[in-house]
Amino acid sequence: MQDFLINQWNNFTNSFYRNFIEDSRWTYLTSGLINTLLITLGALVVGVVLGFAIAMIRTTHDRTGKLGFLNAIAKLYLTVIRGTPVVVQLMIIYFGIFASVQINAVLVAIIAFGLNSAAYVAEIFRSGIMSIDPGQMEAGRSLGLNYSQTTWKIIMPQALKNVLPALGNEMITLLKETSVAGYIGLRDLTKGGDLIRSRTFAAFMPLLAVAAVYLILVLGLQYLVGKMERRLGKSDRR
Amino acid sequence: MIAVKNLCKSFGTLDVLKDITTEIKKGEKVVIVGPSGSGKSTFLRCLNLLETPTSGEIWFEGEQINSPKCNIDLLRRKMGMVFQHFNLFPHLTILRNITLVPTTLKLQTPVEAEQKAMALLKRIGLADKANTYPAMLSGGQKQRIAIVRALAMNPDVMLFDEPTSALDPEMVGEVLQLMKELADDGMTMVCVTHEMGFAKEVANRVLFMDDGKIMEDSPNPAEFFANPQNPRAKEFLSKVL
């Protein structure tokens, strides 16, 4: 029994050494992690900014009847982006649109994942804005604020609070979706684990390490979102 | 102060207001009564353009407010409105509910706005609630805050849209009391209400609306409630009194 355990332990340490220490293979994971974080953060910014703009166009159209042309474009955008897989969009943008241009693959990934995330963020924001009682807009307007002042000071703070859980969800999804970035020859975290596997022919340990890193990142995100929720939720206490 | 000429309003094929012409003078306390669906609330909401009239003219202090040239945001500052469901801003403290608009529009400095808000809160006995959130207040307290929030803008006229209809019965008195004090201070008021007692006591003019029209316009509320001229008004009062 003791021999068995010692044997197992030795196997583990040998495998660990071969997969991560030998030839500094751990750097596949760290450099991949940096790319994954860059893509996620960049795409998050693109997604939130563009998604917010789309949500404003859609709700302004629904509430006032203006911006008909922009609203039609926004609806088409949502249909196309949400109707096709992100990995296909990524490849279309890299191998199609930017085929003849020298461009950093990370930048392409940021654009592709950002454009994709924007469609989902737009609907999240829209549901948040629509969830606010129309009486709030009327109260703001009746006091003399204009449409955009009321939107910024009264509607958005409440809408943001309502959509925070869904927005956190989208951030987590985005982080994990970037794992297909390897399709355009980009060395992200997942690809890093894959490269180790191709050197050592061990599948289990590198993939387990990759999974653990994603999990830790998601836990960090969850913590941040939870903290923000508590901060914005202080007006709910009775 | 407010002049309404041939006002019509339709929602789709439904005609809610049918050719209403009337005038509201400074200092008047007008109470609008009538059965539900008669167009009372729509009429009130047309006065500050929360509803856009289908046709007709509305004039406020010498300006036609439903003309494209008019900046309605400027005129609304002078018309306070109180809603059935209070519509306090739930994400802001009571104090901030009152000071938000005067400071955002730079009509008052933050210090001035705060002092004025505290003075108003003291007057209604809710100064201790300044830093709490609307969720912690009772309905009656919320509605009184909503009234002083409108007063903080120094309006020339106050519009009330069934201000006590969403309140528990024991809360109605405190809100009506505040409205009565406002009336005694000389505020011009237009109030849609089902509180006939309040109408009798405070109003100096009653409009009875039915089917999108003003059926009876009485400068003497006591006389109106005792002896309505219009047959529909008679029928309505016999049901509610």
- pLDDT at position A102 over 80: yes
- Residue B73 confidence (pLDDT): 94
Reported confidence tier of residue A231, pLDDT bands at 50, 70, 90: confident
End-to-end CA distance of chain B, in Å?
32
Reported confidence tier of residue A17, pLDDT bands at 50, 70, 90: confident
- pLDDT at position A140 over 90: yes
- Residue B148 confidence (pLDDT): 96
CB < 8 Å to A153, chain B: 100, 104
Of B180, B223, B217, nearest in space to B202 by CA: B180
Mean pLDDT (chain A) is: 92
- pLDDT at position A162 over 70: yes
Of B190, B195, B180, nearest in space to B214 by CA: B190
CB < 8 Å to B81, chain A: 138-139, 142-143
- pLDDT at position A237 over 80: no
- Residue A203 confidence (pLDDT): 83
Predicted ipTM?
0.92
Tokens, residue B215: 């059926």
Interface probe for A, chosen from B47, B52, B91 (most Cβ of A below 10 Å), is B91
Mean pLDDT for B11-32 is: 94
The 10s digit of each residue's pLDDT in A80-90 is: 999 999 999 99
Mean pLDDT for A113-132 is: 96
The 10s digit of each residue's pLDDT in B156-198 is: 999 999 999 999 999 999 999 999 999 999 999 999 998 888 8
- pLDDT at position A93 over 90: yes
- pLDDT at position A236 over 90: no
- Residue B161 confidence (pLDDT): 96
DSSP class of B230: S
Of B161, B236, B169, nearest in space to B192 by CA: B161
Reported confidence tier of residue A76, pLDDT bands at 50, 70, 90: very high
Give the minimum alpha-carbon distance from B241 to chain A in angstroms, rounded to a whole number. Answer: 31
Percent of chain B at pLDDT exceeding 90: 89
- Residue B84 confidence (pLDDT): 95
- Residue A22 confidence (pLDDT): 82
- pLDDT at position A27 over 90: no
- Residue A94 confidence (pLDDT): 92
Across the interface, of B73, B80, B87, the residue whose CB is closest to A138 is B87
- Residue A169 confidence (pLDDT): 94
Q: How far apart are CA A203 and CA B42, in angstroms?
A: 70
- Residue B181 confidence (pLDDT): 94
The three-state DSSP-derived secondary structure of A24-68 is: HCHHHHHHHHHHHHHHHHHHHHHHHHHHHHHHHHHHHHHHHCCCH
Mean pLDDT (chain B) is: 94
Bridge partners (DSSP) of residue B80 are: B158
CB < 8 Å to A140, chain B: 89, 101
- pLDDT at position B82 over 90: yes
- pLDDT at position A220 over 90: yes
- pLDDT at position A238 over 70: no
Tokens, residue A78: 């949502």
CB < 8 Å to B136, chain A: 237-238
A29-237: which CATH topology? MetI-like fold (1.10.3720)
The 10s digit of each residue's pLDDT in B100-119 is: 999 999 999 999 999 999 99
B98 CB near a chain A CB, below 8 Å?
no
Contact B89 A149 (CB under 8 A): no
Amino acid type, A184: I
For strands B63-64 and B55-60, give the pairing: antiparallel
- pLDDT at position A175 over 90: yes
Mean pLDDT for A69-86 is: 96
Give the minimum alpha-carbon distance from B110 to chain A in angstroms, rounded to a whole number. Answer: 16
Are A164 and A225 in contact by the 8 Å Cβ rule? The answer is yes
